[in-house]
Amino acid sequence: MDVRFDGVSVRRSGREVLHGATVQFAPGRVTALLGPNGAGKTTMLRLIAGLERATAGQVLIGDTPVRAGTTSPHVAYAFQSAVFLAGSLANNLELALRFRSVPPAERATRVREAAAATGIAELLGRDARRLSGGEAQRANLARALAMRAPVTLLDEPLSGLDAPGRRQLLHELPALLRAFGTTAIVVTHDRDEALRLADALVVLLDGKVRAQGPRAEVFGSPPNAATARFLGYTLLPGEGGELIGVAPRALRPGPGEVELEMQVDDVLDLGVRAEAWGTVRGVPVSVSLRAGERAEGAIVVSAARAAVTRFRE
Amino acid sequence: MDAIWEGLREAIRLIASGDAQLREIALRTVLVSGGATLLAMAVGVPLGYGLARTRFPGRTLILGAVNTGMGVPPVVVGLVVWLMLVRSGPFGPMELIYTKRAMVIAQFVIATPLVVGFTAAAIQALPREFPDLLTVLRAGPLTRFWLTVREAQLGIMVAVMAGFGAVVSEVGASMTVGGNINGQTRVITTAIVTETARGETAGAMALGIILLAITFAVTLLLTALQQRRAR
């Protein structure tokens, strides 16, 4: 089931938190809604869930406009902070299914499956409000997955997890979402997380949709300098106000297709490799050196032509 | 100090002897104040929920009025209710003045703002995402109300304790609308006033100790329930 934003704006306390967003989330795909804190990502999820009222435009799930104040039965939503009601985890996971008139036998199966998929099967009998941060985050995800809704909204699903837990879920979550066949919209401010989780990216900056499309397309050739900067590109001043964007980790020491001069300030030797820091045209950059490779004063660094995008803004 | 010890001895003697008049006054006190508190809960909890969960023009004004109502002197409430129920008042034909019902009405008016105010505060103290969670789960209006009250029950228990504590200990309203009629509308607080006026300080002290014991017993019961839920 697809989700569309048609010129949607949200104004709150005199500030426009979302500005004329027009986006299409493809059915059955995982889309990362990527942007810094306060960009309007959660506002977009809340609009889809009917928790927020648009001041202009409309949000459609399939062909049905979203009604503020009511969540469509087609939508499951895992909030950023996991909130549970009094009772066992199993009761909490089951509750949403009960309110959606799922028969009892089916409810038990779905709860078991979602708990197993998120690795919390052994916690089902525990008091939901006494789970650790990581367990609660997995339970939060399990509750959304148990609904098996055509549209699943996940707000920062990996926040609050420790590093190993985060790595594991980052590995498991994309397959899990694809297996459920849901249109998943995952909010994150982490570029690497977005690239690992999603098929498509929507980049939101200051309440404006600045880029959208398949992840390789958006990441490989960002449509504007603001998106490139947020995606970790190094932006260098070029000719006549032009900006040269170099993709993250694309700069290498030595000659190549696009050559630049780097002033080396400092080198950290890590044994197997070294890291050189300095500036290119006054912009701070860093490059990795191979073992034994030396860098002092002015050196030549380069990037492949495909890793360089030029912007006029 | 002697009066206190004498009062304590008298209280024990009265309780041990199973004094019929004392039993009757104590029972009336519990029934009137308990009834008023139950009514205040029935009205105050939904109102507190409504105030906590809805946004409308004038909401802050109403919350301000409720909070003011929490501190209105019972004797003033008694006076207003008396003016309503007295024979020449708008509800005079109902012949409620100087009856237990009149006392329940006055105590209900005293307890309700406390129950509304504490309930609204307890519900507003729930996690910010809580109402959104209920919307996303697609809980119906009655289920939303029930689940919210269940989650806020610790605070709502405080509301009930505050409401009962306020009405069981007030004297002004009960005296004004009940008339302190022996065998009919006399409750412990009004009986204390009568005993004191008669110079029967030991008897007044004894009644005071019994009132404290009743209040403590009811509050202890509610506290035990509250703490069991908190575990």
In the stretch 90-129 of chain B, residues with CB closer than 8 A to chain A read 127, 129
Chain centroid offset of residue B154 CA: 17
Indicate the residue among A220, A255, A283 that finishes a domain: A220
Q: Which long-range contacts (CB under 8 A, 24 or more apart) does A210-214 make?
A: A212/A23, A212/A24
Instruction: Show Cβ contacts of residue A302 under 8 Å, excluding neighbours closer than 6 positions.
Output: A251, A252, A254, A255, A256, A257, A258, A259, A260
Q: Which residues of B touch A50 (CB under 8 A)?
A: 135
CB contact under 8 A, A86 and B151: yes
- Is residue A231 included in any domain, yes or no? no
Residue A85 has its nearest CB partner, among B135, B136, B147, at: B147
Interface membership of B137 toward A (CB under 8 Å):
yes
Q: Are residues A240 and A207 in the same domain?
A: no
Interface membership of A51 toward B (CB under 8 Å):
yes
CB contact under 8 A, A76 and B130: no
Pick the residue with more confidence: B109 or A304?
B109
Q: Are residues A254 and A211 in the same domain?
A: no
Structure tokens at B33: 């104040």
pLDDT digits (tens, 9 = 90+) for A249-300: 888 888 889 888 899 888 888 878 888 999 998 899 988 888 777 778 888 8
Q: Are residues A250 and A206 in the same domain?
A: no
Q: Are residues A212 and A246 in the same domain?
A: no
Q: Are residues A255 and A200 in the same domain?
A: no
- Is residue A228 included in any domain, yes or no? no
**Alpha helices for chain A (secondary structure H):** 41-48, 89-99, 104-117, 133-146, 163-180, 191-197, 215-220, 225-230
pLDDT digits (tens, 9 = 90+) for A123-139: 999 999 889 888 999 99
Q: Are residues A35 and A159 in the same domain?
A: yes
Pick the residue with more confidence: A174 or B15?
A174
In the stretch 40-69 of chain B, residues with CB closer than 8 A to chain A read none
Interface membership of A83 toward B (CB under 8 Å):
yes
Interface membership of A73 toward B (CB under 8 Å):
yes
B52 Cα to chain A: minimum distance (Å): 16
Q: Are residues A184 and A280 in the same domain?
A: no
Indicate the residue among A220, A244, A277 that finishes a domain: A220
Indicate the residue among A220, A248, A277 that finishes a domain: A220
Q: Are residues A212 and A259 in the same domain?
A: no
Q: Which residues of B touch A75 (CB under 8 A)?
A: 136
- Domain ranges (residues) in chain B: 2-230
Q: Are residues A160 and A301 in the same domain?
A: no
Residue A99 has its nearest CB partner, among B127, B137, B151, at: B137
Q: Are residues A279 and A192 in the same domain?
A: no
CB–CB contacts below 8 A, A to B: 43
pLDDT digits (tens, 9 = 90+) for A196-215: 999 999 999 999 999 999 99
**CA-closest candidate to residue A89, choices A132, A134, A136, A133:** A136
- 3-class SS of residue A57: strand
pLDDT digits (tens, 9 = 90+) for A25-52: 989 999 999 999 989 999 999 999 999 9
Q: Which residues of A touch B139 (CB under 8 A)?
A: 99
What whole-number distance in Å separates Cα of residue A109 and Cα of residue B125? 35
* Digitized pLDDT (tens) for each residue of chain B, 231 residues in all: 677 787 778 778 887 887 888 889 999 999 999 999 999 999 999 999 999 999 999 999 999 999 999 989 999 999 999 999 999 999 999 999 999 999 999 999 999 999 999 999 999 999 989 999 999 999 999 999 999 999 999 899 999 999 999 999 999 999 999 999 999 999 999 999 999 999 888 788 888 988 999 999 988 988 888 787 665
Per-residue confidence (pLDDT) for residue B230, from 0 to 100: 63
Residue B130 has its nearest CB partner, among A70, A77, A83, at: A83
CATH at residue A100: 3.40.50.300
pLDDT digits (tens, 9 = 90+) for A63-77: 899 999 899 999 999
Q: Which residue in chain A is spatially nearest to B54 when comparing CA positions? A: A69
- Is residue A107 included in any domain, yes or no? yes
Bridge partners for A311 per DSSP: A243
Q: Are residues A90 and A184 in the same domain?
A: yes
- 3-class SS of residue A49: coil
User: Which listed CATH number (3.40.50.11540, 3.40.50.10710, 1.10.579.10, 1.10.3720.10) goes with B2-230?
Assistant: 1.10.3720.10
**Alpha helices for B86-200 (secondary structure H):** 100-124, 130-137, 141-151, 153-168, 172-178, 188-197
- Alpha-carbon distances of A295 from A234, A254, A259, A282, rounded to whole Å: 20, 10, 16, 18
Q: Which residues of A touch B127 (CB under 8 A)?
A: 81, 83
Q: Which one of A42, A43, A71 makes the best mutation probe of the B interface by having the most chain B beta carbons within 10 Å?
A: A71
Number of domains in chain A: 2
B131 Cα to chain A: minimum distance (Å): 10
- Is residue A226 included in any domain, yes or no? no
Q: Are residues A296 and A266 in the same domain?
A: yes
Ramachandran category for residue B180: left, alpha or beta (phi over 0 → left; psi -120 to 50 → alpha): left
Q: In what order do the strands lie in the sheet with A75-78?
A: A75-78, A151-155, A183-188, A30-34, A200-205, A208-214
Structure tokens at A162: 């420790």
What whole-number distance in Å separates Cα of residue A237 and Cα of residue A243? 5
Interface membership of A97 toward B (CB under 8 Å):
no
Q: Which structural domain range is residue A148 located in?
A: 3-220
Q: Which long-range contacts (CB under 8 A, 24 or more apart) does A12-16 make?
A: A16/A207
What type of residue is A12?
R
CB contact under 8 A, B138 and A73: yes
Per-residue confidence (pLDDT) for residue B1, from 0 to 100: 67
Interface membership of A96 toward B (CB under 8 Å):
yes
